[in-house]
Amino acid sequence: MELIADILLGAGAIAAGVYCLVLSRRLKALNRLESGMGGAIAVLSAQVDDMTRALQATQGAAGDSTRLLDETTGRAERAAARLELMLATLHDLPDESDASARRIRVLRRRGRGDGQLEGAA
């Protein structure tokens, strides 16, 4: 009986050794950088680094665009305020019928050679 137990124990040890050998070879194949999972992990790591750099560049460009947009919006708001002021002062101007009566005419006399202009109301 002890002999059968020793044979089964030896067979189990040999089977465990073969199983460990198979697992070791699979793990080596998995970790190869050229063809295994290690290669896929290395490629993904490089892609993550590239995407991180691209994201940082995009964030910098977005920050510049935000500053430019804020500056342009401020200029537009100041221009709108000036236009509102101009429209408000336009309502204070006299009618055109009054303005046409006050128009200054320029007369030129032909007798003089100095080319002076004289204004008449």
**How far is Cα 64 from Cα 3, in angstroms, rounded to an integer?**
83
- How crowded is residue 78: how many other Cβ atoms within 10 Å of its Cβ? 10
Q: Does residue 77 form part of some domain? A: yes
Question: Tens-of-pLDDT digits for all 121 residues of the chain?
Answer: 889 999 999 999 999 999 999 999 888 877 776 777 777 788 889 999 999 999 999 999 999 999 999 999 999 999 999 999 988 888 777 666 655 556 677 777 776 555 555 555 4
pTM over 0.85: no
**How far is Cα 107 from Cα 115, in angstroms, rounded to an integer?**
11
Question: What are the structure tokens assigned to 89, written together?
Answer: 């002062």
Structural domain boundaries, residue 53: 46-89
Q: Does residue 60 form part of some domain? A: yes
Q: Does residue 76 form part of some domain? A: yes
- b or e along 16-53 (b: 16 or more beta carbons within 10 Å of the residue's beta carbon)? eeeeeeeeeeeeeeeeeeeeeeeeeeeeeeeeeeeeee
Q: Does residue 63 form part of some domain? A: yes
State how many domains the chain has: 1
